[in-house]
Structure 1
Amino acid sequence: MKKAQSQIHESIIVIFIFSIIFAMALFGVYRYNTLSVQGIQKDIEESRSLSLLNNLPGSPLIQQSELGNEKEAVDTLKILDLELNGLGFRTIEITQTYPEVDKVECNSDNYPGCNSYIIYNRVRQTGNKNVVSIPVSLYFPLTKEVKVGKLTITTYE
């Protein structure tokens, strides 16, 4: 009877140890998969920002056009009424860089005496951020002037 009981105890201990090893391996696989998914998500958001940076200036939503003829400039009047949705946690801003003007966020009341257009703004307070930008031409239809600006996309992780 004692030999049978000791074999049962040994079997229980072996099963318990294997269960602990299996749980640790399962946790390791879970952790590896979680980190892989986070890395893939970061890469997707980065490529989405670069795609926006590449395609937004040529989009009919903000591109300058006269009588159907499209120009290679961003129409600042179109920016004032633009509403974008569903772009995740990011900020899209166009800033006039030359000639320099006081840093004032543009709206319909102070246009064109301003230099910063917030196109989309959904900020995440925690985590890292990735900032990408390109130069753009800004067209002011009221004064028929073209000025230099910078399109900046800040992505929050």
Structure 2
Amino acid sequence: MNKKAQLQIQETILVIFIFIVILGMGLILFNKFNQQSIKEIGDNDKLTYFYSMVGNFPNLPEIKCSYLGSEKECIDVSKLINFKNKGDFLFSNITVYTIYPARSNKECTLSVLNQKQDCGTFLVYNNIPAKCRTEFCEKKVIYAPVSLYYPDRDIYEFGKFVIEVYL
């Protein structure tokens, strides 16, 4: 075999090697962009779910006000307390705060309400990812106004429904 043929074979092997390296780098970059795109689609789906929940949650029969079978547009706080951590709302924190009249940030439980103590926070669901307890995580916060009904006192108060979604 002459030297010119050997040189052409070496050049061909070198060109094929460089082509494979460039192709491999292109596939790796494509994979990274594709993974990011899939994560964004998943995050958007999560947010869509929680935005729709803002409108649907106060209408759940488990927490909605009713009197003799007729439903009202408010949240029954005694039902809300019993609903605590009953659903599966992914990685989120769902809380209802009493806004008016102003109340303390103490968490409301049945015993606190029965003793007529001042409380203004209803923790509905709490599932914060473990990694978010120790380091920074991206989250979106969604607010909505709600009417709170206290059946033991037969009064209505203004509240804020807050969903913290961990992405």
With the shorter chain as reference, the TM-score category is: over 0.9
Give runs of aligned pairs for residues 2-151 of structure 1, distance below 5 A.
2-82=3-83, 83-111=85-113, 113-124=118-129, 125=132, 126-151=136-161
* Backbone CA RMSD of aligned residues: 1.2
Structure 2 unpaired stretches of 5+: none
Percent identity between the aligned chains? 34
TM-score by length of 1: 0.94
The alpha-carbon deviation at position 155 of structure 1 amounts to 0.5
Runs of 4+ in structure 1 deviating by more than 4 angstroms, as ranges, are none
Q: What CA distance in whole angstroms lies between the structure 1 residues aligned with 2:78 and 2:122?
A: 10
Q: Deviations over 1:6-25 (max 9, x none)?
A: 22211110111000110111
Q: Deviations over 1:93-152 (max 9, x none)?
A: 001001011110111221253110111111131421111111100000100010110101
Higher helix share: 2
The alpha-carbon deviation at position 3 of structure 1 amounts to 2.3
The alpha-carbon deviation at position 84 of structure 1 amounts to 3.0
Instruction: Tell me which amino acid in the other structure corresponds to 2:120.
Output: N
Q: What CA distance in whole angstroms lies between the structure 2 residues aligned with 1:47 and 1:151?
A: 17
Q: What CA distance in whole angstroms lies between the structure 2 residues aligned with 1:108 and 1:74?
A: 15
Instruction: Tell me which amino acid in the other structure corresponds to 1:25.
Output: G
Instruction: Tell me which amino acid in the other structure corresponds to 1:155.
Output: V
TM-score by length of 2: 0.89
- Equivalent residue for 1:156? 166
Instruction: Tell me which amino acid in the other structure corresponds to 2:93.
Output: T
Structure 1 unpaired stretches of 5+: none
